[in-house]
Amino acid sequence: MLKTETPSAEHAALDQYSASELVEVLIDDQFNAVKAVRAAAPCIAAALAAALPRMQAGGRLVYVGAGTSGRLGTLDSVELYPTYSWPQERALALLAGGDSAMFAAVEGAEDDTAQGAADLEAVGPTPRDVVLLLAASGATPYVLGALHAARKAGALTIGFANNPDAPVTREAEIGITLDTGSEVISGSTRLKAGTAQKIALNTFSSALMVRLNKVYGNLMVDLKATNAKLVLRAVRLTMLATGADEEAARDALTQCDFSVKVAIVALNKKTSIDAARALLESAQGSVRKALAA
């Protein structure tokens, strides 16, 4: 039996716990998700190193999964644009059962190996692409179908599973095992198995964006100011990075369509918006390199 499906020996009387005991047990078990991701840190670092040159060459991130795993992949993909201005067409998510499965379970979709391959082939994978294959069990047919199609196309494949020696981690070029063990509620991989996947994906994509010059120091300087909250965040980030007051920061941002990077370079270098853009372009988008030029 898969470890994720094995009943927990610790909580056989879970349904008899008091409210406080029940809540504490469910929370405490989540700490094991962090431990599982930490143990996989070397593999996540290897995935980062392999993915970076492909992204620098114009490749795409393609997330593939079913159920909870697929929804977590979709979540990671859609958040890259507002957080880091990562082009939406370069972060795709394939979910067993199609887009509607994000909101309502499509029973049986995860068992269709051929559909997984067809969905991956439909996005036209290339050797520059990075395909992230997510399966708590590590053996979801839909995900394995996509994995085989991705490998055939020459894309980099990174497999995530919550069981050791799983097909998705064995057959991907880089396997990341998040060994979370049995769940408090037997087989419910939306618990710590899902938490571990969320942490691992966040870690991988955030580290990748740092390497792609989307961060200056530890400031998120390549966000899209698409709402009032993000406009205020852009102003605060510009002020933090430059020491400018709010009026100066907002004025610079207004001139460059709220590009925090451009505003930082323009204010710190005391140069025009056009010159700041040119410096950033020659520095491959690195604020640090543009300021040193």
Q: pLDDT digit string (tens) for 174-197?
A: 999 999 999 999 989 999 999 999
Instruction: For 106-140, write each residue's pLDDT tens digit.
Output: 878 999 999 999 999 999 999 999 999 999 999 99
Whether 215-292 and 14-211 are alike in CATH topology: the answer is no
Altogether, the residues listed in the chain come to a count of: 293
Residue 8 has pLDDT above 90, yes or no: no
End-to-end Cα distance, the chain: 59
Q: Domain 14-211 is of which CATH architecture?
A: 3-Layer(aba) Sandwich (3.40)
Contact at 8 Å (CB) between 28 and 8? no
Q: Domain 215-292 is of which CATH architecture?
A: Orthogonal Bundle (1.10)
* Residue 281: predicted pLDDT: 97
* Residue 247: predicted pLDDT: 97
* Residue 135: predicted pLDDT: 97
In whole angstroms, give the CA distance from residue 73 to residue 194. Answer: 11
Q: Domain locations in the chain?
A: 14-211, 215-292
pLDDT > 90 in the chain, percent: 94
In whole angstroms, give the CA distance from residue 201 to residue 63. Answer: 10
Dihedral angle of Cα 3, 6, 8, 9, to the nearest 10 degrees: -110
List residues with catalytic annotation: 79, 110
Residue 25 has pLDDT above 90, yes or no: yes
Q: Looking at residues 258-275, what average pLDDT do you find?
A: 97
* Mean pLDDT value across the chain: 96
70, amino acid identity: G
